[in-house]
A and B are shown apart, each in its own frame.
Chain A
Amino acid sequence: MKTFNIKTENNLLKKRNSIKLNLFEYTKKNSSFLGSCLSCLDVLIYIYYYKYDLCSKKKFRSRFLLSKGHAAPTIYSILYDKKIISKKKFFSKYVYWHPNKNIRTIDFQTGALGHGLPVSIGMAKFYLKNKCNNKIITLLGDGELNEGSVWESLFLAINWKLNNLIIIIDKNKYQANDETDKVLKINNLNKILKNLGFQVLECNGHNFKNINDQFKKIKNSKPVIIVANTIRNYGIKEIQNKKDFWFFDKSDKKISLLKT
């Protein structure tokens, strides 16, 4: 069993810096939904570099689906760092704002919101039927919870007892250009999810130790939802936690904030 210690945390922090630089370079070249990319960056670093082997070439490996597809440049930045995407491809039109299924380890073309969870349910059920111990992990945005298909799928996950499914909600409290609570508020989200039958965990989505502490609590007896409290545009003080800069245009004057 892997141990998570100060060294692990430091390694992940180093990764955060290098992946963030990749993301900035990407944004300067192609623009991006940077607010969304940065809010889930740390959670993705944790699952890609510490918790799961998501890039193995094995047929049955743990799989990750980015349901909030517009954060794809974060995945591209990680895969570039892992040398799955070449430098040439990373700076080409091959990697657009949503996941490109032609890239190894990107298992499904998402982008339209509300698709990743149903597909993950199918994968998780298939793994259970095949007695495969690996996990299916999917990351949703909190705004994505507006989608009806998400709720359909939550019912299925509970009814089918998908204890190999890990749903992460990137709760950055914004959707598009406004606050999620102002657009379509969901009162008592955690309570609703618990009442549906999920194991619900909550973490600070920018604190690796805290993320790890919550992942350690996963019981494997029922499907789990980890609500990651995150910050839009985390790490860029001038624009973080603001409703603007969901999308960061490469021609915007504030592009200089993305220091390399």
Chain B
Amino acid sequence: MNKYEKFLIKEVKKKNTFVLTAENLLAIRNLGRKNILDVGICEQSLIGVAAGMAKNGGRCYVHALSNFLICRAYEFLKIDLDYNNCNCVLVGSMGGVQSTFNGPTHQAIDEMSILENFNTFDIFFPSSIDEMTNILSKFKFNKTIYARFNQKTNQEIGIKKKDVTNNFLLKQGKDLIISNGIVISYLYKLINQDKELKNKYSLFNFSYINKNNFSYDIKKFLNYKKILIIEDHLENGSIYSKLKVLISQKKHKNKLKAINFGKKYFSTNRETIDIFQDLGITKKNLLNFKI
């Protein structure tokens, strides 16, 4: 049982807290019957049900595969949660590159561009299950949060809590890489294990995205002239697309470069590491990267 599942077991013991699921992660279905509600694959009703519970003060953790949670149930998110101001935690699994072998029908690489339309939503692409559990344990259900589930642990990645300052995982390099989610775990290992890369790049984990922290976080980036933003997301709605606008508005001369999926689904039937390498996230490329 992973850390998040342990967290859920504790949560559902609380009054009026429910776990709703429309996914096939067996672990969630096996958490026990108490307050675990299985809706099969009824993703639209999943959101409506969560809204009905939230309206009465229920605290719902709502699970489905990211693509079906966000895209199939879009109108339900918009009306039942956002417009009616019903708050819950949405947990999407297999978001980004984590859906590698499923092909384009299951790829969720557009959550930020979709969810940024909603006023009451925050978006969270945690770098690890530890970060996810940590943030959710403090969540007050005063808005809706969408978390792209990532089961990597800090231990697997090699991140030690004491080494993290203000979301900077690495601070030695003069250029900055901004990333989040599962990409961070790959980047952290790649950079941390290589002296040259470590001297070249600092690494910022931009995992929590809402309207307020964008303008706050950008101040931290302005000291870096060269910034590379790496995301397993379409360019539309990406952190890169927003930073580009903000930096130009502030008339700073930071040089930005992006690695993301542009406008396309990613090539399938590959291991995650192959997808990263296809994108150009290799030691050689990062060292020679000209911004």
Chain A residues near B (Cβ < 8 Å) = 59, 101, 107-109, 111-112, 114-115, 117-127, 129-130, 148-149, 152-153, 155-156, 160
A118 and B84 contact, CB distance less than 8 A: no
For window 40-99 of B, CB contacts with A under 8 Å fall at: 40, 42, 44-45, 47-56, 58, 75-76, 79-80, 83-84
B44 and A107 contact, CB distance less than 8 A: no
Residue from A122, A148, A155, A160 in contact with B53 in the complex, judged by beta carbons closer than 8 Å:
A122
A153 and B45 contact, CB distance less than 8 A: yes
Chain A residues positioned under 8 Å from B55 (CB to CB): 107-108, 119, 122-123
Q: A108-B55, A152-B44 are in contact. Are A119 and B49 (CB under 8 A)?
A: yes
Chain B residues positioned under 8 Å from A118 (CB to CB): 44-45, 47-49, 51-52, 76, 80
B38: nearest residue on chain A (CB-CB)? A159
Chain A residues positioned under 8 Å from B47 (CB to CB): 118
B47: nearest residue on chain A (CB-CB)? A118
Chain A residues positioned under 8 Å from B54 (CB to CB): 122
Chain A residues positioned under 8 Å from B56 (CB to CB): 59, 123, 126-127, 130
B45 and A125 contact, CB distance less than 8 A: no
A60: nearest residue on chain B (CB-CB)? B56
A122 and B52 contact, CB distance less than 8 A: yes
A130 and B53 contact, CB distance less than 8 A: no
Q: A108-B55, A109-B84, A129-B35 are in contact. Are A153 and B42 (CB under 8 A)?
A: yes
Give CA–CA (A155, B38) in the complex, Å: 12
- How many chain B residues touch A (CB < 8 A): the figure is 26
Q: A118-B76, A120-B52 are in contact. Are A126 and B39 (CB under 8 A)?
A: no
A107: nearest residue on chain B (CB-CB)? B55
A114: nearest residue on chain B (CB-CB)? B44
B16 and A126 contact, CB distance less than 8 A: yes
A115 and B39 contact, CB distance less than 8 A: no
Complex A-B: 5 CB contacts under 8 Å: A122-B49, A122-B55, A126-B58, A156-B45, A160-B37
Smallest Cβ distance from A132 to chain B, in angstroms? 9
Chain A residues positioned under 8 Å from B42 (CB to CB): 149, 152-153, 155-156
Give CA–CA (A108, B53) in the complex, Å: 12
Give CA–CA (A103, B75) in the complex, Å: 23
B16 and A117 contact, CB distance less than 8 A: no
**Interface of chain B, helix or strand or loop or mixed?**
helix
A148: nearest residue on chain B (CB-CB)? B44
B44 and A149 contact, CB distance less than 8 A: yes
B35 and A115 contact, CB distance less than 8 A: no
Give CA–CA (A112, B56) in the complex, Å: 21
Q: Across chains A and B, which 5 residue pairs bring their CB atoms closest together, nearest first?
A: A122-B52, A118-B48, A152-B42, A122-B49, A123-B52
A121 and B48 contact, CB distance less than 8 A: yes
Contact with A along B129-169 (1 / 0, CB 8 A): 00000000000000000000000000000000000000000
B50 and A122 contact, CB distance less than 8 A: yes
Smallest Cβ distance from B260 to chain A, in angstroms? 33
A122 and B51 contact, CB distance less than 8 A: yes
A121 and B16 contact, CB distance less than 8 A: no
Give CA–CA (A156, B49) in the complex, Å: 10
Chain A residues positioned under 8 Å from B44 (CB to CB): 114, 118, 148-149, 152
Chain B residues positioned under 8 Å from A148 (CB to CB): 44
Give CA–CA (A101, B56) in the complex, Å: 14
Give CA–CA (A118, B22) in the complex, Å: 14
Looking at A122, A125, A153, the one whose CB has the most chain B CB atoms below 10 A away is A122
Chain B residues positioned under 8 Å from A119 (CB to CB): 48-49, 51-52, 55, 80
Give CA–CA (A117, B42) in the complex, Å: 13
A108 and B40 contact, CB distance less than 8 A: no
A112 and B79 contact, CB distance less than 8 A: yes
Give CA–CA (A129, B58) in the complex, Å: 10
Give CA–CA (A239, B50) in the complex, Å: 41
Smallest Cβ distance from A69 to chain B, in angstroms? 10
Give CA–CA (A122, B259) in the complex, Å: 41
